[in-house]
Structure 1
């Protein structure tokens, strides 16, 4: 996943490995953490589920000044949305990742 935008011009990259290891690359450095089994199973279900598969590649609406854009990539599919259009399951994915 990539998070861009905001007042500070954020350009963060979040990578989740199959074993639940999470790497968050920011300008200030790399943060490493791990998802527990229940959270990893939930994340896998959300990304592999019908809701994610049915989303259009781009979800943009009314722009939010200094807002964020999120690019979710999984299994060869990418969905990009601005912060005002984080429909399910996108908001749930962000919450699971602690973002």
Structure 2
């Protein structure tokens, strides 16, 4: 019992959020900021998406054009070559932490350390999150 409690306490102290992707092509997490965001987005290979925010859970389907643009952005960026640990050397007060999972590969980054190749991908995913899937 004591070991379980210690394990739970240790896991609660983790500084980097974890995205647990379901069978999806893309899983995205944006956490932090001055407002304490905790946004989770998953997109499956057919464009069916789920956005989970503090305000609720939203299911929607991306149109074919948007889905293709996202897939192209990942390919153009060379996502497979982006360092998996692209976090800032020091925590950024009120900064965002981003976790992107694509084709089973996870990249973690944060404000002030976002690799240039990853910026267009984050912009696209942030637009989807900010629009609430509309």
What TM-score do the two structures reach when normalised by structure 1? Answer: 0.80
- For the pair shown, which has the larger CA radius of gyration, 1 or 2? 2
Any idea what the Cα deviations from partners look like across 1:55-87, whole Å, max 9, x if unmatched?
A: 111112364320000000011110000022333
CA 1:20–1:51 in structure 2 vs 1: closer, same or farther (change >3 Å)?
Answer: same
Which residue, out of 112, 124, 127, partners 1:96? 124
Unaligned runs of 5+ in 1: none
Which residue, out of 75, 87, 90, partners 1:60? 87
User: How many residue pairs end up in the alignment?
Assistant: 99
Bigger helix fraction: 2
Q: Which runs of 4+ in 1 moved over 4 A?
A: none
Q: Residue 75 in 1 paired to residue 103 in 2?
A: yes
Contact 1:46–1:89 (CA under 8 A) maintained in structure 2: no
Unaligned runs of 5+ in 2: 1-27, 130-134
Bigger strand fraction: 1
Any idea what the Cα deviations from partners look like across 1:2-28, whole Å, max 9, x if unmatched?
A: 111112322221001111122110121
Matched residue SS, 1:13: strand
Contact 2:77–2:117 (CA under 8 A) maintained in structure 1: no
